[in-house]
């Protein structure tokens, strides 16, 4: 099990080591659910401070070998995009579209520079979860003041966060808590157990209110995985009660659904169909001659679906989006991130860390199925930070 130092002690240690970039990164994660602009600004400041610390304070670029590998994979991927785009179009086009299309992917190269050792990285989670809690309380308070419904639209209008990303953050919090809840050393602490159960119920209720069907599926997957891993004859009754309550909640949730979900499925299926057709036309290297939305709009136009063309939507599926833009070659380069994570695992890695990694992976890989999360700030920052966070968690245990 990870032995965590008190938060103040970790912050104090990082401060005296003059790693100000890490402290600013923690602040940026606190701001991530609250403000895109402030979060972006703090991230830029963190990267600038890291450069200063490396040049003038002679600090290391990477604290772990796996982080170096992660950054190198990012370099290879961006280099592939550059060469592929130049071959398909020209340098001027690449420069013009880089900001909108490819600049978020630079975080795959830069984020590993900001990560520290495992016992210190935990404050990134604490700051992130604190920001998430503050965001939810703030929107709840503003909903009451403005006399509007506390729902997905409230979060979108008040703090400009799409419910998919909010649910992804909440599920990450659930995964974090589940690992600790099912840890054997915590089972005899009844007050702590009640606190965990209350937290799970509150998050489940919030996801229920946000009407995210995929998030409900992920919640069940996370909870089911931990229940199966810790099953024994002594807790059969408790498991029966939990599953009964969860089943009843899901039935009520399905009854709450309306035709908007059918419409959402219909438009996604049509977009996915057109994405697959485009992928087949440029299977190996993808199509970088136009931006993704323009490619799909052209397909919608030829197919007579002017309603979808005017909506200006992307693939709404990260797997299809990667294949559409970068082809099988680009897709294979990105799978190196998975191999890098697997390679870092070995027998010395704790079960709690493995559970955390599997939970995080399940969340990301399932959300990939319904959203292009690597194209937006809320998604790319979350994925790039916590992917490298877990790389260090694994490697620090094996050293």
Candidates 317, 374, 326, 360; CA nearest to 84 is 326
pLDDT number for residue 2: 42
Instruction: For residue 219, tell me if it sits in a domain.
Output: yes
Backbone angles phi, psi at 2, to 5 degrees: -75, 130
Instruction: For residue 221, tell me if it sits in a domain.
Output: yes
Do residues 210 and 151 make contact, with C-beta atoms less than 8 angstroms apart?
yes
Instruction: For residue 267, tell me if it sits in a domain.
Output: no
Q: How far apart are CA 221 and CA 227, in angstroms?
A: 10
The rounded Cα 100 to chain-centroid distance in angstroms is 20
Residue span of the structural domain in which 208 resides: 7-261+315-398
Do residues 316 and 372 make contact, with C-beta atoms less than 8 angstroms apart?
yes
Candidates 131, 133, 157; CA nearest to 143 is 157
pTM of the full structure: 0.92
Instruction: For residue 139, tell me if it sits in a domain.
Output: yes
- Run of H or E residues at 251: helix 236-256
Candidates 15, 344, 367, 381; CA nearest to 168 is 367
pLDDT number for residue 146: 95
Radius of gyration of the chain (CA): 22
Instruction: For residue 276, tell me if it sits in a domain.
Output: no
Do residues 33 and 139 make contact, with C-beta atoms less than 8 angstroms apart?
no
Candidates 238, 242, 307; CA nearest to 271 is 307
Instruction: For residue 356, tell me if it sits in a domain.
Output: yes
Do residues 322 and 335 make contact, with C-beta atoms less than 8 angstroms apart?
no
Do residues 143 and 154 make contact, with C-beta atoms less than 8 angstroms apart?
yes
Coil/strand/helix, residue 151: coil
Instruction: For residue 271, tell me if it sits in a domain.
Output: no
Do residues 43 and 371 make contact, with C-beta atoms less than 8 angstroms apart?
no
Instruction: For residue 214, tell me if it sits in a domain.
Output: yes
- In this prediction, the residues of the chain whose per-residue pLDDT falls under 50 are 1-4, 259
Average pLDDT, the chain: 88
According to DSSP, residue 113 is labeled: G
pLDDT number for residue 139: 98
How many structural domains is the chain composed of? 1
pLDDT number for residue 143: 97
């Amino acid at each position: 099990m990870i032995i965590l130092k008190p938060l103040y002690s970790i912050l104090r240690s990082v401060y005296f080591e003059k790693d100000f970039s890490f402290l600013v990164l923690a602040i940026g994660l606190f701001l991530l659910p609250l403000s895109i602009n402030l979060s972006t600004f703090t991230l830029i400041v963190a990267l600038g401070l890291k450069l200063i610390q490396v040049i003038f304070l002679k600090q290391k670029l990477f604290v772990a070998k796996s982080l170096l590998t992660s950054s190198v994979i990012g370099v290879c991927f961006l280099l592939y995009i550059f060469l592929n785009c130049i071959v398909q179009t020209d340098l001027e086009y690449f420069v013009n579209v880089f900001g909108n299309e490819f600049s978020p992917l630079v975080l795959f190269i830069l984020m590993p520079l900001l990560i520290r050792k495992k016992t210190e990285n935990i404050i990134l989670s604490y700051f992130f979860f604190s920001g998430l809690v503050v965001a939810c309380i703030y929107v709840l308070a503003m909903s009451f003041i403005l006399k509007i419904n506390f729902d997905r639209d409230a979060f979108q209008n008040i703090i400009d966060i799409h419910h998919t990303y909010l649910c992804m953050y909440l599920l990450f919090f659930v995964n974090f808590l589940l690992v600790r809840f099912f840890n054997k050393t915590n089972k005899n602490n009844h007050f702590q157990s009640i606190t965990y159960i209350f937290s799970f119920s509150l998050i489940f209720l919030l996801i229920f209110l946000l009407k995210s069907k995929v998030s409900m599926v992920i919640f069940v997957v996370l909870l089911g995985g931990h229940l199966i891993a810790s099953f024994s004859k002594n807790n059969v009754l408790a498991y029966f009660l939990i599953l009964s309550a969860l089943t009843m909640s899901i039935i009520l949730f399905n009854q709450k659904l309306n035709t908007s979900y059918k419409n959402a499925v219909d438009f996604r299926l049509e977009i996915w169909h057109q994405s697959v057709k485009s992928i087949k036309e440029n299977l190996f290297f993808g199509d970088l001659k136009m931006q993704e939305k323009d490619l799909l709009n052209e397909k919608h136009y030829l197919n007579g679906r002017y309603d979808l063309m005017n909506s200006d939507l992307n693939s709404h599926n990260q797997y299809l989006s990667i294949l559409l833009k970068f082809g099988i070659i680009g897709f294979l380069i990105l799978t190196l991130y998975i191999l890098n994570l697997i390679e870092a695992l070995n027998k010395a890695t704790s079960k709690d860390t493995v559970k955390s990694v599997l939970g995080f992976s399940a969340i990301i890989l399932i959300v990939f199925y319904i959203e292009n999360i690597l194209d937006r700030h809320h998604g790319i920052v979350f994925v790039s930070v916590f992917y490298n966070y877990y790389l260090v968690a694994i490697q620090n245990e094996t050293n």
